Structure 1
Amino acid sequence: MPCLQTLRINDIRTVTKTLNSVEFSLLILGSPIYSYWLKKSVLPLPHRPSRSASCRSGRIHAANASSSPQRRNSSMAKAFAVKLLVAAMAVAASSGAMAAGAQDLGKVEQAAPSQKLTVTVALHLRDRDAATRYLQEAHSPSSPNYHKFLSSAEFRARFAPSDATVARVSARLQAAGLGVKRIGSSLLQVSGPAASVQKAFGAEVHIFQNKAAAPGSAARYIAPVRASAPTVDMSDVQAVIGFDSRPHFRPHLRQLPSHLQPAVGKTSGSVTGGNAPGQWTVTDLARYYDITPLYNKGIHGQGSTIGIVTLASFTPSDAFQYWNQIGLKTDLNRLSVIDIDGGPGAPSDDGGSDETTLDVEQSGGIAPDAKIIVYQAPNTTQGFVDAFAQAIESNTADTLSVSWGEWEWFDQQSQAANPVNGQTTNVLQAYHDLFLQAALQGQTMFAAAGDAGAYDVNRAAPLPQYSKVLSVDSPANQQFITAAGATTVPATLTFHPNGQAMQVKIPQERAWGWDYLNGLCQALGKDPVACGTFPVGGGGGVSGFINRPFYQYWVPGMQNTPAGQQLVDNSQTPPQVIASVPANFKGRNVPDISMNGDPETGYVVYYTSSKTGFSVMSNNGGTSFVAPQLAGITALLNQSMGGRLGLLNFSLYSLLATGHAYHGHGHHGAPLRDITAGGNWGYDSHRGYDQATGVGAPDVANLDAALHRYFWF
C-alpha cells in the first residue's frame, strides 16, 4: 500500500540502488500545487514504506528546511541528481523510446560538437495564493471584480516574477555563458553551447540513435544520463524543461479496428448533415446538442478566436474542404499557423497529423465565423510547455483546445527540475501556473480527458504485460482547464461476427465504454483485452497528484483515489513495481463535461494521409473530438455573452450546486443533460456528477439561456 511521506535524500547512492531495483515509486517527489482551500497544499508523495517508514500527513515538508545553507545546498544537489535520472527513465517508459536498439553516441558536445542546447526555465510566480483568490473573484457574480479579466501585461505586473527577479536569474545564466530570452510571464528560454548548458544545470546529456524506432518516435534524440550539482544558483527557479527530445505525448483520437466496424454504408467523397452515428459531421452534432437555435439567432462565433495547441502539423486545405463540403461559408483568411520551437515538421500519419486536422475541422465547423490559430510544436515536453506559453502569453485566443496528453505520473516525472528550498518541482507546476494565467485572462481551456476509460496508463502500458491502474490523463487533470469526457449516442449497430448478423442497441446516451460490445467479443471468441475493447472509453477518474479544486470541493459524487493502484511490469521475474498512486488522496476529479466521442457513433474526418493521400474517414472518435467541439461552442457563447466566459468549470459546478443544472426555467429547458447509463470500465454513470461523464452533456441553447440568467446581469 502506498503511503504519503516526505522522501529525504541522505545519500546519492540512493540513485544507484533505486535504478538497479527499478523502484520508481521511491523517487516521486512532490511539487506545490496551490488550491483555494489548501493554500499551502502540495502534491503528495507516493512512497513504498520500509519497515521503519510510517505514513505522515499529505503535505510534503521541505527536507532540511532549518539546516545550514551548506547542508541545504548539498541536499538540493542530491535531490536534483535523483530527479534528473528518474526523468530520463520516466520519459523512456512513456514513449517506449528506450528500446534495446538505442545506441548511446556519447555526450552532445562530443557526438555533435556544433550542437547547442536550448531549455525552458520556469520561475516561481510572485504570489499564487493572491492570484487564485483573484481568480475566484473574477468568476463570482457577487464580487466587484466579476469578469474583470486581466491582460497579459496586468498578469505580469501583479503575479509574475518581478523584473528584478528575472534580471537576477538572467545575470546568473549569462555569467555562465548562456543566452537568455523571456518567452512568457514566468518562462525564460536559455541556450548556449552544450557543455555550458549542462554545466550550469548539472546535467550530462547524451545523443542516442534509435535504429529500431517505432512509428511516431524519434530516430535520433537527446536524453540526460546523469546529474551533478548545478553551478548556477537555482533559488528562483522551479523547473528546467528540455533535456529530453523524445516524442512521448499521445493524441486522444480513436479509430475502429476492422472487427469492430459496424455494417453501415461507406462514406463517399462527400458528406452532408443528417448522417447516421459513425458518420456525423458538426451539423449532426449541432442538431443533437441543440446548437442550432444559436445559429438561427445569427450567432456563428463572430469576434471570437479559437486556439489549437497541438504537437503535429496538418494540411490546411483539408479543413476548408470539410467546411465547404458541409455547406459552411468561411473566410479564407480565418486560419493561421504558428510554429513553436521550429514546429513539428511536415504532416505525418505517424506523427498525429490527423489529430490536428480534426481539431481544426471540428472547432471551426461549430463556429464558422471564428478565427483559428494553430500553435504547433514538436512532440516534447518543452514543445508542449512553450506552445501553451505562446498561446497564453499572446492572449489572442479566447478559447484554447488541446487533445494530446499522457498519464499524469509520466508528466510528474518527465522532466528534471531544479531543487528549491530542499524540495523539487516539475512540469506539473509549470502547467498549473500557465493555466492559472489563462483563467485570469478569461481564456477558456479544454483538454481531452483520454480514451482509455478509467485506466489512462494502460493505453501506453497495455495488459497483460502491465497491471491495470485506475489513472487519469495530463493536462486534463489540471485545475484551471475543463476536462472533456465522452459519451455514446443512441444507435442500433449491426455487426457480422463469423458471418452472422448481430445487433447492438444503444437506447439512450450513455457514458462511452466499450463494455457494451462484450457480446460481440464473445461471439468472436475473444476476451475484452484480446478484442481490443478494454479499457477503451472516455477518460475519467481521480488525480493522484493534483489537489481537488475549490469548485469541486463540496460537490456530491466526488471521490478520492482508490487503494492498491500500482503499475506492475508482469514480464519481469519477479514482477516489478514501476509506480504507485497514493491512496485516499483528495484529488481533482475528471472529466467535467462530455459529448459524443465513441467511434462507433462518431464522426467523419477529411484528411490527407502522408501514406495514402486524401480520404474521407468514417467512425472516428475519442475525447479528441469533444475538446475542440467545446472550444467551438465556447466561441458561440462568447459572442452571445459579449465577452469571454473564463474558466467554464465555475459556471458548470455553480449550476450543479444551485440545482439549476438539470432543471429548466421558463420556456428554456435544462442546460445540462444528466447521463445516467453506461460507464468507462472503472466508474459508472449515475445521477449528478460522476467520473464517467462529469456533470453530463450540454444542451447548448439552454446553457446559453442559463448563463444569461444566472451569470450575466
Structure 2
Amino acid sequence: MMKSIFCIFNIADSERECVFGGIFMKHYLSLTLLPVSIMIFCMAANYNIKAASTTTVGLMRPSKITSNQTTNFDLILRSKDQAGAYQRALAVNTPGSPNFKQYLTATEFRQKYGQPASVTNRWQKYLKLHGLKATVFSNGLIINVSGRASVISKVFKVNLENATYHKNVMQFGKNKPNIPSSLSKSVQAIIGITDHNSRYVFPNSQFGLSQKRFSDAGSESVSGNFGYTNQFTDHYGVNQLYREGLTGQGQTIGIIAFEGFHRADVFHFWKHENVSIDANRLSTKYVTGNLYNTKLKSSEDSSESVMDVEYAGSIAPQAKVRVFRVKSPVPTLMNLVNAYATVYDSGNISTVSTSWGLGSTLGLNYLQRQGILPNNYPNILSMILAQGALEGVSTFTGSGDQGAQASYFKGVSHGKAVIGHSLKAGDVLPTNPWIISVGGTTLPNSRIIKLPGYSPFAIQIQNERAWGYDSAISAVKNNPKVAKFIQKNGIGYEGSGGGFSELYPTPRYQRNISGVNTFNARQFIKEDGSFDFNPELVSGIGSGRNYPDLAVDADPFSGYYVYQKSGSRSGWFPQAGTSIAGPQVTAVAALINSAPDHRRMGFWNPQIYQLAQQTNSPFTPLNSSVDNSNTYYTGQADTIYNQATGLGVPEFAKLYNLYE
C-alpha cells in the first residue's frame, strides 16, 4: 500500500501529528478529508468559475503483493430491485406514506433486495473448491473473497498488480475467468481487486488551499471561545431533551473510523463531563477490508477518532458507542462500503457517523479513467447507504472543511500528483443523497490573531454565521503585509463544505424548496489562490444534490476541548471542523431515539425538509449575504435553504417535538 505519509505541524501547541492519507484526508480542520463535489450548471450572466491554480506533490503507491500473500476483495451482487429499494427507502422515512416507519431488518432487506442464500451458497461452494474463502454479508449484496494472491490470480485469471476494469464485470486482464454463468450473472461489480495496481496512486501530502490554520501561525496566536459538551447542548436546545429524561439509554451509536484511539483518553473526557464511564459503553469491531499499502499503519492514537468518540458519548450520556474500525488508513471504496455494510448488518446501531470520506468526484474520475474504479461505484455506495435508510438508521457525515472551492487530485505529471482547486471538487460521501450532511457554523466570538512579526488584529463575530474566513480576509484588506503573509502560508482558507453535486441529481426531498438549486456567492478566493477583498455578490442557478442539510458550530475559534494525552501535551486542546459537528448531531439522534414513545428517527432528510417549510420550523436559516459565507456561497434572503449552511441551525428540542 502507500509508501509515504504526511505530517501536520501544529505550531500553536508545539505538537507534531503524523497521519496518512493524501487525498483521503479527514473532514476535520487540520486534515480536511476529501473534497465535496460541486457543479454549477448555470451561472449569472458572464460569470464563469474556472478551476484555481494547480500545484504538484509526491505520490503514494500501493505496495507490491507476493504470490503467497493473503488478500481479499468484494463481489458486489446485483440487487433484485434497486429502484424499488430506493423508492421504499424514501417511503419508510416520509410522513404520510403508507410504509412510513415500516423499517426492515438486515434479513428482511436481503429477502426483498439482496441475493438469496441459494446464490451465495453456490458462490461459497465454488470458491472453497478452488481454495478461496467467501464471507457473505447479511444484506445478500456483498461476498468478501479472501485467499493467497496466487490462488486468486489463477481462479480469476488476473495479475493483481495489473488488474483493471473491463466492460465485462468478471474480467480484469486479457482473459475472462471460467466462472459458471449462473454465478457470474449475479455479480454487478468486483471492488478491491484493483487495489494493488501501480496506477492506484494518491497524493502523499495534504493539499489544497488550506495548509495551515490561524491557530497554527504562532505560539499563543489565537484567543477564541472554546467549550466542552455544554457549548453544543446549551446552544442547540439539547438541554431540554435532558430535562425530558432523554439520555440515549438503550441506544448504540456507531462511529466508522480508519484510525484508533486510547480508551483511557475517552473515559477521562467522559468523567470530566459527568457522564457514564461504564466500561461496557465503549467497544470496537474490526471491519473486513484490504490494505492499500502494508507498510502504512493507521494511527492507534488519532485525534479524529478520539474527538468523535468523546463527543458522541458525552452528548448521549448513557448510549453505547461502538467503533467500526478499518485497519487500513486509506478509505478505499471497498473499505468504506464494507464499513457501512457491517454497521447496517449488525442490527443494533440506530445512528452512525464517520469523519472520513471517499474522495472528490473529479479525483475519482481520474481513477476511473485509469481502470481502477468501476463506473457504477456511485450506485454501489448509494445502495449500501439506502440499506441504512430502510433499516431506520440515521447516517451522518461532515460536509468537509475546505469551503466550497476544495482541492482534488487531477492526475500525474512527471511522477508527481497534480492538484487542482474547483467548485466541482466535492467529496462523494457528504454529497450522496442517502446521507445526512452536516455543515459548519461559527458561534459569536472575539478573535485576536497574533501572527509572528506582525501587529495583532481582531475579529468580532456578532451572530452565528456560516463557517468561513471571509471575516479574516476583510480584516486584513488594509494591511497588505499581513495579507501577503497569510496568502503565502495558506492560512485562512478553511470553511464549511457546501454547494452542488455533479454526481447525484437533486433528490426528491429537496425539490421545490426555496433556495435549492439557486445561490448567492462572493468569491473571496481567486482562481490563483489570492484574496479578493471586495468581491461582488453574484447569483446563479445550480443543479444536483445540494449539500449540506443542516449546520452546527464547527469553527476552531468557537470550537471544543478534546482530551488526548500525548507526550508532553497536557491532554486538553481545542479541536473543531465539520467532523466534530457530525458525531454531535449523531448523538442527538440517539437521545431522541431513546424516548420511550419514539420510534427510530431513521433517515432525517425526507422529513426535515418538510418540517423546514412550516411556520414553526425547527431550523433557523442563515440567509444574510454579508459576513456569512464559506468563502464562496453565502445566504439568500427569504429562502429556506442556503448552500453554505443547508436548512440552517437546528433547535433540537423543537425537532424532537415535531419529528414523527
- TM (normalized to structure 1)? 0.69
Deviation of residue 173 (structure 1)?
4.6
Match of 1:311 in 2: 258
Find out whether 1:364 has 2:303 as its counterpart. Answer: no
Deviation of residue 489 (structure 1)?
0.7
Matches within 5 A, 1:637-648: 637-640=592-595, 642-648=598-604
Deviation by residue 1:577-621 (Cα, 9 ceiling, x = unmatched): xxxxxx998321110011000112111111134xx3654343321
Q: CA 1:390–1:689 in 2, change beyond 3 Å: closer, same or farther?
A: same
Which of 445, 466, 469 is residue 491 of structure 1 equivalent to? 445
Q: CA 1:465–1:139 in 2, change beyond 3 Å: closer, same or farther?
A: closer
Determine the C-alpha separation between the residues in 1 that align with 2:283 and 2:563: 19
Which of 174, 177, 181 is residue 228 of structure 1 equivalent to? 174
Determine the C-alpha separation between the residues in 1 that align with 2:323 and 2:658: 31
Deviation of residue 358 (structure 1)?
0.5
Determine the C-alpha separation between the residues in 2 that align with 1:280 and 1:651: 31
Question: Per residue, is there more helix in 1 or in 2?
Answer: 1
Contact 2:259/2:301 (CA < 8 Å) preserved in 1? yes
Match of 1:653 in 2: 609
Q: CA 1:201–1:398 in 2, change beyond 3 Å: closer, same or farther?
A: same
Match of 1:29 in 2: none
- For the residue of structure 1 that corresponds to 2:160, the secondary structure is strand
Contact 2:59/2:202 (CA < 8 Å) preserved in 1? no
Determine the C-alpha separation between the residues in 1 that align with 2:214 and 2:309: 21
Which of 244, 249, 255 is residue 297 of structure 1 equivalent to? 244
- For the residue of structure 1 that corresponds to 2:59, the secondary structure is coil
Match of 1:605 in 2: 562
Which of 345, 350, 354 is residue 402 of structure 1 equivalent to? 354
Instruction: Select between 377-386 and 439-448 the one with higher mean Cα deviation.
Output: 377-386
Note the aligned Cα RMSD (angstroms).
4.1
Determine the C-alpha separation between the residues in 1 that align with 2:108 and 2:376: 26
Q: CA 1:236–1:103 in 2, change beyond 3 Å: closer, same or farther?
A: closer
Deviation of residue 117 (structure 1)?
2.5
Query: Residue type of the partner of 2:288?
Result: D
Determine the C-alpha separation between the residues in 2 that align with 1:631 and 1:471: 26
Deviation by residue 1:176-217 (Cα, 9 ceiling, x = unmatched): 55332212410001123313323544543339xxxxxxxxxx
Determine the C-alpha separation between the residues in 2 that align with 1:458 and 1:418: 18
Deviation by residue 1:26-78 (Cα, 9 ceiling, x = unmatched): xxxxxxxxxxxxxxxxx9999xxxxxxxxxxxxxxxxxxxxxxxxxxxxxxxx
Task: State the structure with bigger RCO (CA 8 A, min sep 6), 1 or 2.
Answer: 2
Match of 2:25 in 1: none
Deviation of residue 143 (structure 1)?
2.8
Matches within 5 A, 1:662-701: 671-677=618-624, 678-686=628-636, 687-701=639-653
Deviation of residue 155 (structure 1)?
0.7
Determine the C-alpha separation between the residues in 1 that align with 2:295 and 2:59: 24
Match of 1:392 in 2: 344
Deviation by residue 1:656-678 (Cα, 9 ceiling, x = unmatched): 234442xxxxxxxxx11221241
- For the residue of structure 2 that corresponds to 1:544, the secondary structure is coil
- For the residue of structure 1 that corresponds to 2:145, the secondary structure is strand
Deviation of residue 479 (structure 1)?
1.3
Contact 2:556/2:574 (CA < 8 Å) preserved in 1? yes
Q: CA 1:178–1:333 in 2, change beyond 3 Å: closer, same or farther?
A: closer
Match of 2:6 in 1: none
- For the residue of structure 2 that corresponds to 1:156, the secondary structure is helix
Determine the C-alpha separation between the residues in 2 that align with 1:164 and 1:254: 54
Determine the C-alpha separation between the residues in 2 that align with 1:560 and 1:172: 53
Deviation of residue 389 (structure 1)?
1.2
- For the residue of structure 2 that corresponds to 1:227, the secondary structure is coil
Determine the C-alpha separation between the residues in 2 that align with 1:655 and 1:297: 21
Determine the C-alpha separation between the residues in 1 that align with 2:653 and 2:410: 38
Which of 571, 583, 588 is residue 545 of structure 2 equivalent to? 588
Match of 1:479 in 2: 433
Deviation of residue 285 (structure 1)?
1.1
Q: CA 1:316–1:255 in 2, change beyond 3 Å: closer, same or farther?
A: farther
Find out whether 1:636 has 2:591 as its counterpart. Answer: yes
- For the residue of structure 1 that corresponds to 2:644, the secondary structure is coil
Match of 2:167 in 1: none
Deviation of residue 132 (structure 1)?
2.1
Match of 2:512 in 1: 554
Query: Residue type of the partner of 1:634?
Result: A
Matches within 5 A, 1:339-378: 339-341=286-288, 353-377=302-326, 378=328
- For the residue of structure 2 that corresponds to 1:634, the secondary structure is helix
Q: CA 1:691–1:487 in 2, change beyond 3 Å: closer, same or farther?
A: same
Contact 1:486/1:623 (CA < 8 Å) preserved in 2? yes
Deviation of residue 530 (structure 1)?
2.6
Deviation of residue 424 (structure 1)?
5.4
Q: CA 1:139–1:676 in 2, change beyond 3 Å: closer, same or farther?
A: same
Query: Residue type of the partner of 2:398?
Result: A
Query: Residue type of the partner of 1:630?
Result: V
Deviation of residue 263 (structure 1)?
5.2
Deviation of residue 349 (structure 1)?
8.5
Aligned length: 554
Contact 2:353/2:582 (CA < 8 Å) preserved in 1? yes
- For the residue of structure 1 that corresponds to 2:322, the secondary structure is strand
Determine the C-alpha separation between the residues in 1 that align with 2:410 and 2:304: 18
Contact 1:484/1:594 (CA < 8 Å) preserved in 2? yes
Deviation by residue 1:393-448 (Cα, 9 ceiling, x = unmatched): 112110000111121333456579999xxx95443222211111100000000011
Contact 1:347/1:353 (CA < 8 Å) preserved in 2? no
* Structure 1 residues not aligned, in runs of 5+: 1-42, 47-92, 208-225, 266-275, 563-568, 571-582, 662-670
- For the residue of structure 2 that corresponds to 1:197, the secondary structure is helix
Deviation by residue 1:359-398 (Cα, 9 ceiling, x = unmatched): 0011111001101100000234232222111111112110
Determine the C-alpha separation between the residues in 1 that align with 2:364 and 2:138: 21
Contact 2:92/2:102 (CA < 8 Å) preserved in 1? yes
Q: CA 1:701–1:141 in 2, change beyond 3 Å: closer, same or farther?
A: same
- For the residue of structure 2 that corresponds to 1:547, the secondary structure is coil
Q: CA 1:701–1:429 in 2, change beyond 3 Å: closer, same or farther?
A: same
Query: Residue type of the partner of 1:98?
Result: L
Determine the C-alpha separation between the residues in 2 that align with 1:692 and 1:351: 33
- For the residue of structure 2 that corresponds to 1:338, the secondary structure is strand
Deviation by residue 1:537-591 (Cα, 9 ceiling, x = unmatched): 01111111122211112222222899xxxxxx99xxxxxxxxxxxx998321110
Instruction: Select between 596-605 and 191-200 the one with higher mean Cα deviation.
Output: 191-200
Matches within 5 A, 1:184-203: 184-185=138-139, 186-201=141-156, 203=158
Query: Residue type of the partner of 1:537?
Result: G
Query: Residue type of the partner of 1:631?
Result: T
Determine the C-alpha separation between the residues in 2 that align with 1:141 and 1:683: 31
Deviation of residue 230 (structure 1)?
3.2
- Among all aligned residue pairs of Structure 1 and Structure 2, give the percentage whose two residues are the same amino acid: 26
Instruction: Select between 181-190 and 358-367 the one with higher mean Cα deviation.
Output: 181-190
Q: CA 1:699–1:342 in 2, change beyond 3 Å: closer, same or farther?
A: same
Matches within 5 A, 1:91-240: 98=59, 108=65, 112-170=66-124, 173=127, 177-185=131-139, 186-201=141-156, 203-206=158-161, 227-231=173-177, 232=179, 234-240=184-190
Which of 597, 602, 621 is residue 576 of structure 2 equivalent to? 621
* Structure 2 residues not aligned, in runs of 5+: 1-36, 41-53, 163-171, 521-526, 529-539
Instruction: Select between 186-195 and 245-254 the one with higher mean Cα deviation.
Output: 245-254
Q: CA 1:340–1:94 in 2, change beyond 3 Å: closer, same or farther?
A: farther
Determine the C-alpha separation between the residues in 2 that align with 1:473 and 1:531: 24
Determine the C-alpha separation between the residues in 2 that align with 1:311 and 1:284: 27
Deviation by residue 1:98-129 (Cα, 9 ceiling, x = unmatched): 35xx6985xx3xxx232123101111211022
Contact 2:212/2:492 (CA < 8 Å) preserved in 1? no
Query: Residue type of the partner of 1:320?
Result: F
Determine the C-alpha separation between the residues in 2 that align with 1:673 and 1:135: 27
Contact 1:458/1:535 (CA < 8 Å) preserved in 2? no
